[in-house]
Every structure is written in C-alpha cells, then in structure tokens.
Amino acid sequence: MLFFIAENTNTFYIAVYGAILSTITVGAFIYSYYLNSRIRIRVTVSNTIAIPEGTNLIEVRASNIGMRATSIDAPIFMLPHNRQLNPATPHDQSVRVPYELCAGKPDFIVRHTIESLTSRLKKEEYSGLVPFTAIVPGTGGNRYKSKKMVLDLNSGLILTISLSARLKRMLRRTYHAATPY
C-alpha cells in the first residue's frame, strides 16, 4: 500500500482534496435546506395614513420569509418593565385571527389608530418617548418580534431606536444651549 501511495502521490492528494470539497458542498446544501425549511417570520412596524379618513395609523406587518406555513395571532406590544399592551380592535375590521401565514401568501397586516394607542398609554401614565416591541404570537408558543421602536406620545410618530437616541441628544444640546449657565 505504501508503495502505491508513494508512486501516485499526486493522484492521492487530488482524491483527498475532492473528498473534502464534496463533503463541504454536501454540508452547505444540508445547512441551506435547514435554514429555508424552518419557520421564519419577519415583523415590522411603521407609520401609515389612512387615505380617505386621514387618520394616523400604526401598521404591524408579519411576512413569512421561510418555506413552512404557520398560523399567527393578533400582535401585542411589549412596553418597558415587561408590561403588555393588547390593542383593542384594529382599524381594519377585515382582519381575522388566527391567520394562516403560508409561503408566498400575502402578508398579515394589522393597523391601529395611533390616537387610541397614545390615549391608552397616557391612561397608564406613560409620557414622552415610549419604547416598545411588536410581538406576533405563533403556533407552538413561538413569538416573533420586531425591532425595538419608540412611540412619541406628543407627536404620534414612531421612531427607530437609533433615531430617537439622536433626537434625544439633539434636544439635550439645544436645551442646554438655550439655558444660561
């Protein structure tokens, strides 16, 4: 056997290289299949305006970016100190839950008026900028979360965390610049 390897070393190294390369390729295909076959839901939050009424709305959108179908429930909002806000009724009454979210099916969209949310938050003694995360409960106890956002109760705008941090710094600078020392 050693005589055979010593005589055809180039062939032996090419065979080992091919075996390693094919093992890596098969592993990559199995890993990509696993990533695509699991349930993946993307939850986003944004401001919208209802065209006929002109009301300011908060829109929670759940998109199935995986290959497997799942059913989801109505979104809830997680507030500071692990407090939950369950919005009463959506602006669109056509939304039915639980909603079957299949791959390639239209997104699950729920819209709530910002005025109703801000009034409920003010009743619970929140003021100013309120950080929150939209959570869409799914089957099997899964919870799909959006990025952390900030709701400005004074203006009714939804800001991203980085934008609200910049806004706070800017307001702090202008406030300190306006007050004499």
Beta strands per DSSP E along 33-164: 41-49, 56-64, 70-72, 76-79, 83-85, 99-101, 108-113, 129-137, 143-145, 149-152, 157-160
Q: How many domains in the chain?
A: 2
Same domain as 153, residue 115:
yes
pLDDT-above-70 percentage for the chain: 80
pLDDT tens by residue, 77-113: 998 888 888 876 666 666 677 888 888 777 888 888 8
Q: d(Cα 155, Cα 149) in Å, to the nearest integer?
A: 15
Same domain as 81, residue 45:
yes
Q: Which domain holds residue 27?
A: 2-36
Q: Determine if the pTM surpasses 0.75.
A: no
Torsion sign (Cα): 167, 172, 173, 178: positive
In terms of residues, how long is the chain? 181
pLDDT tens by residue, 107-143: 888 888 888 888 888 888 888 888 889 999 988 888 9
> What are φ and ψ of residue 112, in 5° steps?
-125, 150
